[in-house]
Structure 1
């Protein structure tokens, strides 16, 4: 029997996550009164295999009763009752944007501003986030990417460190990404821009990739970069970091940075325990500015 408590910030995707888990075969219940949580767990456990996986949605809609859940979780720990907690989070800016787009009111905001309600919610859910087995930051996740992560956690049975990594290529002339945690400058590599036959092509194409990797410097750099990132991952996880943006930049974000980002992404696929995403921010910017 597998019992997952799905919780997190309002607007971070909890409802969507529950629907996805239901599609995976979980028996899902949302917003169950806290005094009934223990009874629900007992019923699931005694279902004689009829319910092998269950997901329970819990959030601040439980009101003052939410604090009672900590006692229930402590009791479960004492009797070694198996459960997991999935916590969905997002930045305040993203949550505010989502609320404004849907024109919904925050459950704790009342007549106050949205940011006040979000701050109150973070305090109320802090004890659940600290206990969480999995923390997913959905700030930049597409629906299909969220689904892929949930499938990997709950269907693949793989070890998951709650670290989601974005590999992002960019052009320095368009600005360094504001959310970048690590920034690497690859403008020292051979530049296809000066080859008229390659200028209009991108680092997604083999001819450009071969040009950038000419001489072997790019491959040596990638080996050293991978070794450093591989070294850093466990320390970021230990620190509690759940989202890491690795930005790779060249002048225009079209050739060298795209090539290196693609290669790094392929190498990092070896880490089955992390979430991984690839983005090329400025790959089309030259065309747009010329247009």
Structure 2
């Protein structure tokens, strides 16, 4: 794959670099933590198999590597001279907040071997000041929680890619066989007329045109589908903005064979008009045909 999407994450210890790296990984980037800056050019020269699932590379580099500030500029210049574009993201936070975070996590600061925590933070801030000045994005995480930071970094990651990151799964199921696990949105469509009780339809399923017409063209379903898809059209962009990677929508009826199948397929058809990664599973479609399906 072409190496044209490189992000370097750096900044103060305790400012949220691990969370930032997680956001890039969730966005389809190949991620490396604590990457020695001297090894970066050699790493990028390694032959890699073409993999459309990799949207780019993200590396965390910081003062855990001795001499990092003095070496990074020459390496970055080398990358530019060889036509490799990269973006530097610098994370920071108020000193008092960093002290509080280290106290809560009980982790060691990389520069506190012979000094206090506050002295170590002050020294780190000074050593990284020149790198901060050349960074493309400086993010202050003082008043930012983990979810907010991940949302901010995800927005940066998505500027580098064209794919729709949110994978939407539509699942039909039957309540009589139990609730599915790991769902985000649940809709019960047992209020719709049941094709099972129509003699000429009960042996068919929601995949058959006869049942689909019966379920989807009723006045109740037409009103429901308009209101429910309007709600999804409103929610899905908000989930994307929040940085959600997977969204599972479950549609249930009594047996999971007629109404939920037809409705799930129709919802998926609607969402595919603006979102490419939509997958449909009919959990109970092939179960034994029993009354109430």
**TM-score normalised to structure 2 length:** 0.53
154, 162, 173: which is aligned to 1:133? Answer: 154
User: C-alpha displacement at 1:76, in angstroms?
Assistant: 6.6
Aligned partner of 2:134 in structure 1 is 79
Residues 203 and 3 of structure 1: CA distance in aligned 2, closer, same or farther (over 3 Å): same
Is this contact kept in 1: 2:189–2:252, CA < 8 A?
Answer: yes
| CA drift at 1:222 | 0.9
CA distance in structure 2 between the partners assigned to 1:264 and 1:196 by the alignment: 27
Alignment correspondent of 2:198: 195
Structure-1 residue corresponding to 2:81: 46
Going from structure 1 to structure 2, the CA distance change for 1:12 and 1:213 (only over 3 Å counts) comes to closer
Q: Any gaps of 5 or more consecutive residues in structure 2?
A: 9-19, 33-46, 88-107, 112-123, 138-145
Question: How far, CA to CA, are the matches of 2:167 and 2:129 in structure 1?
Answer: 29
Structure 1 residue 14: deviation in Å? Answer: 7.8
TM-score normalised according to structure 1 size: 0.53
Counterpart CA distance in 1 for 2:222 and 2:173 is: 19
Match of 1:232 in 2: 235
Tell me which residue corresponds to 1:177. Answer: 180
What's the RMSD between the two structures over aligned residues? 5.1
Per the TM alignment, residue 196 of structure 1 is displaced from its structure 2 partner at its CA by 4.1
CA distance in 1 between counterparts of 2:229 and 2:238 reads: 15
Higher share in helix: 1
Q: Do the aligned residues in 2 keep the contact of 1:26 with 1:53 (CA within 8 Å)?
A: no
Matches within 5 A, 1:74-153: 78-81=133-136, 129=150, 132-133=153-154
Aligned residue for 2:284? 282
Q: Does 1:23 align with 2:44?
A: no
Q: Are the aligned partners of 1:7 and 1:14 in contact in 2 as well (CA < 8 Å)?
A: no
**Corresponding residue pairs, total:** 216
Measure the CA separation in 2 of the matches of 1:204 and 1:73: 61
Distance 1:257 1:22, change over 3 A: same
The structure whose Rg is larger is: 2
Supply the distance in 2 between the matched residues of 1:287 and 1:17 (Cα, whole angstroms).
Answer: 48
Q: Any gaps of 5 or more consecutive residues in structure 1?
A: 55-63, 83-124, 136-149
